[in-house]
A and B are shown apart, each in its own frame.
Chain A
Amino acid sequence: MVENGEQQGFTMAHMFDNCAIGEFPGMAFTMLRQANLTSKLGGMFNAAVNKTKSFTNGGDIQWCFSQVKGTVEEDVTEADIISCVEFNHDGELLATGDKGGRVVIFQRDELVSTSEGWSAADYLGKANQTHRGEYNVYSTFQSHEPEFDYLKSLEIEEKINKIRWLRRANPANFLLSTNDKTIKLWKISERDKRPEGFNTKDETGMLRDPTSVKALRVPILKPMELMVEASPRRVFANAHTYHINSISVNSDQETYMSADDLRINLWHLEITDQSFNIVDIKPANMEELNEVITAAEFHPSMCNVFVYSSSKGSIRLCDMRSRALCDQHTKLFEEPEDPTNRSFFSEIISSISDVKFSHSGRYLISRDYLSVKVWDLNMDSKPIETYPVHEFLRSKLCSLYENDCIFDKFECAWSGDDRHIMTGSYNNFFRMFDRESKRDVTLEASRENMKPRTVLKPRKVCSGGKRKKDEISVDSLDFSKKILHAGWHPSENVIAVAATNNLYIFQSKD
Chain B
Amino acid sequence: MLGRVKRKHEEDTDLECYTHQRQSILNISMCKLRTSSLRRVEPCLRRSVLIFNTLKFIEEELRQEGVKVYDASKPSILPSIQCEEMALDPIPCQDHMTHLELSSIGNNVNKTDIEEPKTPNVAVSDTAAIVSTPSSDNSSSAAPLILTTTSAIALSVPVTGSTDILGTHAVTPQRNIASTIENGLDKLLTVESLSSLNLNSLFEDENIIGSSILSSLSSCWTSPSKVDDPLGDIDMAGCDFDLLSPASPNVKLPVTPITTDDLARTFSNMDVLLPSSCGVDSCRNDLLWNDELENIMQVLVGM
Using a CB–CB distance below 8 Å, which chain A residues touch chain B? 149, 152-157, 180, 241-243, 261-262, 284-287, 289-292, 294, 311, 344-345, 347-348, 351, 398, 401-402, 404, 407
Query: Given that A292-B45, A401-B28, A402-B28 are contacting pairs, would A286 and B139 also be in contact in the complex, using a CB cutoff of 8 Å?
Result: yes
Q: Provide a sorted-by-A list of 30 A–B residue pairs whose CB atoms are within 8 angstroms.
A: A152-B161, A152-B162, A153-B162, A154-B41, A155-B40, A156-B41, A156-B42, A180-B42, A241-B169, A242-B167, A243-B42, A261-B46, A284-B140, A285-B140, A285-B141, A286-B166, A286-B168, A287-B139, A287-B205, A290-B52, A290-B53, A294-B46, A311-B46, A344-B21, A344-B22, A344-B25, A344-B54, A345-B54, A407-B44, A407-B47
B49 within 8 A of A: yes
Contact of A285 among B24, B58, B139 (CB under 8 A): B139
Docked Cα-Cα span, A180 to B162, in Å, equals: 18
In the complex, how many angstroms separate the beta carbon of A134 from the nearest chain B beta carbon? 37
Docked Cα-Cα span, A291 to B44, in Å, equals: 13
Would you call B167 and A291 a contact (CB within 8 A)? no
- Binary interface profile of B, 189-221, with partner A (CB < 8 Å = 1, else 0)? 000000000000000011000000000000000
In the complex, how many angstroms separate the beta carbon of B222 from the nearest chain A beta carbon? 23
Would you call B138 and A286 a contact (CB within 8 A)? yes
Chain A residues, CB < 8 A from B44: 243, 407
Chain B residues, CB < 8 A from A407: 44, 46-47, 50
B57 within 8 A of A: yes
Chain B residues, CB < 8 A from A154: 40-42
In the complex, how many angstroms separate the beta carbon of A428 from the nearest chain B beta carbon? 24
Using a CB–CB distance below 8 Å, which chain B residues touch chain A? 21-22, 24-25, 28, 32, 40-42, 44-47, 49-50, 52-54, 56-58, 138-141, 161-162, 166-169, 205-206
Question: From A262, which residue of chain B is reached at the shortest CB distance?
Answer: B45
Chain A residues, CB < 8 A from B47: 404, 407
Contact of A290 among B24, B49, B169, B205 (CB under 8 A): B49
Closest 7 CB pairs of A and B: A261-B45, A287-B139, A285-B141, A348-B50, A407-B47, A287-B138, A292-B46
Chain A residues, CB < 8 A from B24: 398
Docked Cα-Cα span, A344 to B41, in Å, equals: 28
Query: Given that A344-B22, A345-B54, A398-B21 are contacting pairs, would A286 and B49 also be in contact in the complex, using a CB cutoff of 8 Å?
Result: no
Question: From A293, which residue of chain B is reached at the shortest CB distance?
Answer: B46
Query: Given that A398-B21, A401-B25, A402-B28 are contacting pairs, would A347 and B42 also be in contact in the complex, using a CB cutoff of 8 Å?
Result: no
Question: From A288, which residue of chain B is reached at the shortest CB distance?
Answer: B205
Would you call A292 and B140 a contact (CB within 8 A)? no
In the complex, how many angstroms separate the beta carbon of B26 from the nearest chain A beta carbon? 9
Docked Cα-Cα span, A285 to B22, in Å, equals: 29
Docked Cα-Cα span, A345 to B50, in Å, equals: 9
Chain B residues, CB < 8 A from A398: 21, 24-25
Docked Cα-Cα span, A122 to B167, in Å, equals: 64
Chain B residues, CB < 8 A from A153: 161-162
Summarize B's interface: helix, strand, loop or mixed: helix
Chain B residues, CB < 8 A from A243: 42, 44-45
Would you call B50 and A287 a contact (CB within 8 A)? no
Question: From B208, which residue of chain A is reached at the shortest CB distance?
Answer: A287
Chain B residues, CB < 8 A from A289: 49, 166
Docked Cα-Cα span, A290 to B207, in Å, equals: 12
Docked Cα-Cα span, A189 to B129, in Å, equals: 55
Docked Cα-Cα span, A404 to B168, in Å, equals: 22
Docked Cα-Cα span, A402 to B21, in Å, equals: 12
Question: From A402, which residue of chain B is reached at the shortest CB distance?
Answer: B28
Chain A residues, CB < 8 A from B139: 285-287
In the complex, how many angstroms separate the beta carbon of A310 from the nearest chain B beta carbon? 10
Docked Cα-Cα span, A153 to B163, in Å, equals: 11
Docked Cα-Cα span, A241 to B205, in Å, equals: 25
Would you call B46 and A347 a contact (CB within 8 A)? no
Question: From B282, which residue of chain A is reached at the shortest CB distance?
Answer: A402
Question: From A260, which residue of chain B is reached at the shortest CB distance?
Answer: B45
Chain B residues, CB < 8 A from A291: 49
Question: From A345, which residue of chain B is reached at the shortest CB distance?
Answer: B54
Would you call A292 and B206 a contact (CB within 8 A)? no
Docked Cα-Cα span, A291 to B166, in Å, equals: 12
Question: From A242, which residue of chain B is reached at the shortest CB distance?
Answer: B45
Chain A residues, CB < 8 A from B52: 290
Docked Cα-Cα span, A346 to B38, in Å, equals: 27
In the complex, how many angstroms separate the beta carbon of B203 from the nearest chain A beta carbon? 10
Docked Cα-Cα span, A292 to B44, in Å, equals: 11
Given A286-B139, A286-B166, 17 more A-B residue pairs with CB atoms under 8 Å apart are A152-B169, A155-B40, A156-B42, A157-B41, A243-B45, A284-B140, A286-B138, A286-B168, A290-B49, A290-B52, A294-B46, A344-B21, A344-B54, A345-B54, A398-B24, A401-B28, A407-B50
Docked Cα-Cα span, A11 to B40, in Å, equals: 52
Docked Cα-Cα span, A339 to B148, in Å, equals: 44
Would you call A286 and B140 a contact (CB within 8 A)? yes
Chain A residues, CB < 8 A from B56: 290
In the complex, how many angstroms separate the beta carbon of B14 from the nearest chain A beta carbon? 14
Would you call B138 and A292 a contact (CB within 8 A)? no
Chain A residues, CB < 8 A from B22: 344
In the complex, how many angstroms separate the beta carbon of A138 from the nearest chain B beta carbon? 31
Docked Cα-Cα span, A345 to B206, in Å, equals: 20
Docked Cα-Cα span, A154 to B299, in Å, equals: 12
Chain A residues, CB < 8 A from B141: 285, 287
Docked Cα-Cα span, A432 to B51, in Å, equals: 31
Docked Cα-Cα span, A292 to B53, in Å, equals: 12
Chain B residues, CB < 8 A from A348: 50, 53-54
Question: From B21, which residue of chain A is reached at the shortest CB distance?
Answer: A398
Docked Cα-Cα span, A289 to B58, in Å, equals: 17
Would you call A287 and B206 a contact (CB within 8 A)? yes
Chain B residues, CB < 8 A from A285: 139-141
Chain B residues, CB < 8 A from A347: 50, 53-54, 57
Question: From B137, which residue of chain A is reached at the shortest CB distance?
Answer: A286
Contact of A351 among B28, B46, B206 (CB under 8 A): B46
Chain B residues, CB < 8 A from A402: 28
Chain A residues, CB < 8 A from B40: 154-155
Docked Cα-Cα span, A404 to B48, in Å, equals: 11
Docked Cα-Cα span, A140 to B166, in Å, equals: 36
Question: From B42, which residue of chain A is reached at the shortest CB distance?
Answer: A154
Chain B residues, CB < 8 A from A287: 138-139, 141, 205-206
In the complex, how many angstroms separate the beta carbon of B198 from the nearest chain A beta carbon? 15
Chain B residues, CB < 8 A from A290: 49, 52-53, 56
Docked Cα-Cα span, A243 to B45, in Å, equals: 8
Chain B residues, CB < 8 A from A344: 21-22, 25, 54, 57-58
Docked Cα-Cα span, A351 to B25, in Å, equals: 18
